[in-house]
Amino acid sequence: MTDSRLRGNDGQGKSRFLTIRHECSRLGLPNRTDREKWLPQKKDQIRALLKSIETGDPGPVAVVNETKYIQHNPQTQEGSEGLAALFKRLSETSPRVNIVRAFEDGDFVFGHTEYYFVSRRIGFEVFRFEDGHAVEHWENIQARKGPNAAGRSMVDGPVEATDLDLTEQNRAIVRSFAETVLFGGRLDQLAEYIGAAAFADHNPRLTGDVTALRAALEAMKDGGRQIDYQQVHHVLAEGSFVLCVS
């Protein structure tokens, strides 16, 4: 049996971002080439980009290829204004941006963010890179609520990926969990993927334990499942963190 941590899915909206931190024993870290050591990591570039919403610094926007950039958030309308001008204008409203955790998987960067404009909101961000520049962006943002009955907020917990050598194993486990339990409805298999003793649920609508999670997944509405998973779009991973976009 494996122990996993499930965070950040409230069953609302068309897109769902499910992050599981899977705990396995460390077997050693892969070596990076000398060239890789000196190259800026994509996730650090995205951290700087998102922080520039707060600071108004135009420099980090250079990571985006604005000619190819595809924004999938219908509420973000940069239009002909350009990202640098947009972020500068937003910074004048005194927003606060906290990049809680960020990870990198090939051409993708995925992260967990907290924004404070008029109200506090929590987001999952996914950026796709091409030829060294960000060219596509997805996000799912919701109002910050909680803590839940277990005392967990939507953003607390570990922030650094470990067990980098187990990235592909953890990705496979989460994909199997999604296909078997979430899509297949095999709730009898839930304990095969999530150990009750180690489970830490950050969903503000639930009580924070496996029993509450199972009850939420079993809940019915209008003749169907209240939380209805339909398709896996991406399973992104770095070490002990895996993001399932469905």
pLDDT of residue 212: 95
* Max CA pair span of the chain: 57
Total domains in the chain come to 1
Which residues of the chain, if any, have pLDDT below 70? 1-39, 74-81
- Beta-sheet pairing, 108-116 with 120-130: antiparallel
Vertex 46 angle, CA 64 and 91, to 5°: 85
Q: For position 14, what pLDDT does the model report?
A: 44
Residue 123 sits in which domain range?
4-245
Average pLDDT of the chain is: 85
pLDDT of residue 46: 97
Assess contact for 140 and 124: CB atoms under 8 A: yes
Structure tokens at 124: 């999952």
Residues 78 and 88: their CA atoms lie apart, in Å, by 12
Token digits for 207?
């009580």
CA angle 138, 109, 154 (to 5 degrees): 70
pLDDT, position 38: 53
Q: What is the pLDDT of residue 29?
A: 41
Task: State the DSSP code for 180.
Answer: I
CATH at residue 215: 3.10.450.50
Enter the pTM of the model. 0.83
